[in-house]
Structure 1
Amino acid sequence: MHLKISRAHLFHQIQRCQNIVEKRNTNPILVNILFETVSNGLKLTATDLQATYSSTQEAEILEPGKLTVDAKKIFEIVRELNPEQMIELKTKPNFLEIFSGGVKFEIAAKSADEFPSEPTDETDLSISLPGSELIRMIGSTSFAMSNDETRKYLTGSLFEVSPEHGIRIVTTDGHRMALSEFNIANLQQSASCILPKKAVMELKRLAEEAEENIQLSLGQHQVRIELNQQRFTSKVIDAKYPVYQDVIPQSNPHTALVDKNLLDQALRRSMVVSNDFTHDVKLIFTDNNLSIAAHNTEQEQAEEDMVIAYEGTTIEVGFNAKYMRDVLAAVSSQNVRIVLKDSLSPALLLEEGHELSKHVLMPMRI
């Protein structure tokens, strides 16, 4: 293999591969990146056997070939090279030579024959949507993915596509739930799968580069996204997701309109004296006023009042302040609607002006 490529293009490819490569792996080949010449340039591939990323960039191919090199080492080398210089890559037995300006590196290489094959397409349904909408949906829901490995199905995000609601992303850890959706016209099929957290965050990173619609494909065992000569494929979590629809409050009669930033600041202050583990605070809704109170076992306490838009029955309800702040951070509007029933029922938090995203918080007994 012998080629010349822009340092900027190569560095971008390697950076993306770094997100996939498993840093500690019992299979040594999986800490490597596959370099492979193709008709239109240089193709790089990385995999941890659960997720696979490949990217092709334009390059001047002087001699075709393929090999694998250590991902961390090639990343650190290319990162330090002059961004304005071209990079020349040339193989010799068991090594890759790297030239740029007056700099030369020679690093160990392994045969490409040991590298796993790229997964074949096993998806059933493909949709096109703006990258900005995928970013919005993941940003609105990713915080509620669980870290509890004993309930693997909650550690990812449910991606659900149907003619009724377009594409919907749902996450829950049992204490809170987040849902966000985007309407897609003329859908004829339905599909759903649970994506692992690593795959969800990689989808978001790829969507951040999208200047046009991205192609998202779902299947029973696999999800795939294609964008600008880049392809990301991930296995899904083989499990049944909880019936989340039953958790969403349908008849909460009381609505408070609250400034998101002011509420977040008040919660942050209250957490100073709240329980370090449960972060419990009491919210008391009265006409045009919200009182926030917190205390701990050392009899320390905090109280604060803020003006809100609310009329109706006085409601006292306890929440985990950290969980509520996570929701507020995911809300894009200046104000948030808090829809309540009583002190023992889940609260529904909505962005002002639309219901494309919904967040449910379970109450705490205080």
Structure 2
Amino acid sequence: MKFTCEKSNLQEAISIVQKAVTGRSPMPILEGIFIEAINNELRLIGSDIDLSIETKINANIIESGRIVVDSKIFGEIIRKLPNDEIAIETTENNSIIITCQNSIFNLIHLNADEFPSLPNIDDDMMFVIPQSTLKNMIRGTSFAIAQDETRPILTGILFEINDKMLNMVALDGYRLAIRNEYIDTENSISAVIPGKTLNEVAKVLEDTNEIANITFTTNHILFNLGVTKIISRLLEGEFIKYSSIIPQEFNLKVTVNKQKLQNGIERASLMAKEGNANLIKLDIEDESMVITSNSQLGKVREEVAINLQGTTLQIAFNSKYLLDVLKIMDEEEVVMEFSSSVSPCVVKNKEKNNCKYLVLPVRLAK
């Protein structure tokens, strides 16, 4: 194998496929990056079996071939080389020579035949969605994925298409996040994608209207993003019937400026960090919401103007859970619906009906 290519292109391709190389696989070959040189193109793959990422770059292929090189050391070498053309060729003794300007590295490579092939995915169940839309939907739900492995299904995001509507849902027992967007398809699907996969997909997605092609099989999902493909195993099991958790009625409704509320909660939570679960209290009155927190460090009182429909209420929350929701909402005003001091609060946009968030309150000792 022998080829030349631009350092910047190779470095970017390595950083994309490295996202799938965890170093935790029982197969040592998966600590490497698979590289195939053919038809003036370089194909790179990183994998940990559950998640595989493939990308391609243009290169001047002098002699075709395929190898596997250690992901960490190869990535470091390429990153530290000058910004110029790099030449790579295989030599005797299972090694490659990497040359760039005055730098010459000799690096051992592994046998590419031992690298597991990617799952075969045909295009029966294919959906298209703009990359920016998908990126926003992942951002709007992934914070609510369970970090605890005791219920593996909750470490994923439900991807559900019905009646031309795509719903993405995540919940961790303390909050629930739902994002929905129109999607032009007659197909319907319900699958749970690992949160880790979607967080890596979001890093590769562009903020453009370019299309992401999504294909499902029984056990896998493929994201085809032009030159980059991401293939992931799906999570097995039944996702929680989330619609039954969402309150259908409420006693009071608060409309509030999102940024002012976020700023007030952020300042109040400075006092809440002292080992008491980031606890803040909300006193909802006619025209204002008073946010308080006290700890051994001291106390704080913030007041935010609101528009209230309904009765007054005192309720407490873990401030982190409210802030996670507010930070990813993009409208100027948000609506909060409450039923009682022990029932979940529903947060949604005032204008656009494309998201719904549920946050459980903290019970206060009387």
Normalised TM-score (structure 2): 0.94
Write the distance in 2 (CA, Å) between the matches of 1:58 and 1:30.
24
Write the distance in 2 (CA, Å) between the matches of 1:16 and 1:29.
18
Instruction: Give yes or no for contact 2:54–2:229 (8 Å, CA) kept in 1.
Output: yes
Q: Is 1:92 equivalent to 2:95 in the alignment?
A: no
Instruction: Tell me the SS of whatever aligns to 2:118.
Output: coil
Correspondence list, 1:52-131, <5 A? 52-83=52-83, 85-93=84-92, 94-121=94-121, 124-131=124-131
Report the alpha carbon displacement of residue 269 of structure 1 after superposing the two structures with TM: 2.4
Q: Residue 217 of structure 1 corresponds to which residue in structure 2?
A: 215
Q: Deviations over 1:114-154 (max 9, x none)?
A: 11111111675211111110111111111100111011111
Instruction: Give yes or no for contact 1:123–1:224 (8 Å, CA) kept in 2.
Output: no
Q: Which amino acid aligns with 2:311?
A: T
Q: Residue 51 of structure 2 corresponds to which residue in structure 1?
A: 51
Q: Deviations over 1:329-352 (max 9, x none)?
A: 111112221112222221110123
Write the distance in 1 (CA, Å) between the matches of 2:25 and 2:12.
24
Q: Residue 141 of structure 1 corresponds to which residue in structure 2?
A: 141
Unaligned runs of 5+ in 2: none
Q: Residue 18 of structure 1 corresponds to which residue in structure 2?
A: 18
Instruction: Tell me the SS of whatever aligns to 1:133.
Output: helix
Q: Residue 7 of structure 2 corresponds to which residue in structure 1?
A: 7
Q: Deviations over 1:58-98 (max 9, x none)?
A: 11111011111001111111111222x11111001310111
Q: Residue 27 of structure 2 corresponds to which residue in structure 1?
A: 27
Q: 1:252 to 1:123 in 2, by over 3 A?
A: farther
Correspondence list, 1:1-366, <5 A? 1-83=1-83, 85-93=84-92, 94-121=94-121, 124-164=124-164, 166-185=165-184, 187-208=185-206, 212-274=210-272, 276-296=275-295, 298=296, 300-366=298-364
Instruction: Tell me the SS of whatever aligns to 1:323.
Output: helix
Q: 1:40 to 1:293 in 2, by over 3 A?
A: same
Report the alpha carbon displacement of residue 305 of structure 1 after superposing the two structures with TM: 1.8
Write the distance in 1 (CA, Å) between the matches of 2:348 and 2:249.
14
Q: Deviations over 1:253-283 (max 9, x none)?
A: 4221112222222222222333524222221
Report the alpha carbon displacement of residue 251 of structure 1 after superposing the two structures with TM: 1.9
Q: 1:239 to 1:40 in 2, by over 3 A?
A: farther
> How well do the aligned residues superpose, as a CA RMSD in angstroms?
1.7
Write the distance in 1 (CA, Å) between the matches of 2:298 and 2:316.
17
Instruction: Give yes or no for contact 1:141–1:330 (8 Å, CA) kept in 2.
Output: no
Instruction: Give yes or no for contact 2:132–2:207 (8 Å, CA) kept in 1.
Output: no
Instruction: Give yes or no for contact 2:121–2:217 (8 Å, CA) kept in 1.
Output: no
Instruction: Give yes or no for contact 1:130–1:212 (8 Å, CA) kept in 2.
Output: yes
Instruction: Give yes or no for contact 2:271–2:297 (8 Å, CA) kept in 1.
Output: no
Q: Which amino acid aligns with 1:198?
A: K
Write the distance in 2 (CA, Å) between the matches of 1:316 and 1:22.
46
Instruction: Tell me the SS of whatever aligns to 2:69.
Output: strand
Instruction: Tell me the SS of whatever aligns to 2:307.
Output: coil
Q: Which amino acid aligns with 2:223?
A: I
Unaligned runs of 5+ in 1: none
Write the distance in 2 (CA, Å) between the matches of 1:168 and 1:220.
19
Write the distance in 1 (CA, Å) between the matches of 2:103 and 2:276.
53
List, as ranges, runs of 4+ consecutive aligned residues in structure 1 with deviation greater than 6 Å: none
User: Percent identity among equivalent residues?
Assistant: 29
Q: Which amino acid aligns with 2:178?
A: L
Q: 1:217 to 1:182 in 2, by over 3 A?
A: same
Report the alpha carbon displacement of residue 38 of structure 1 after superposing the two structures with TM: 2.6
Write the distance in 2 (CA, Å) between the matches of 1:355 and 1:215.
25
Write the distance in 1 (CA, Å) between the matches of 2:336 and 2:343.
12
Instruction: Give yes or no for contact 1:286–1:312 (8 Å, CA) kept in 2.
Output: no
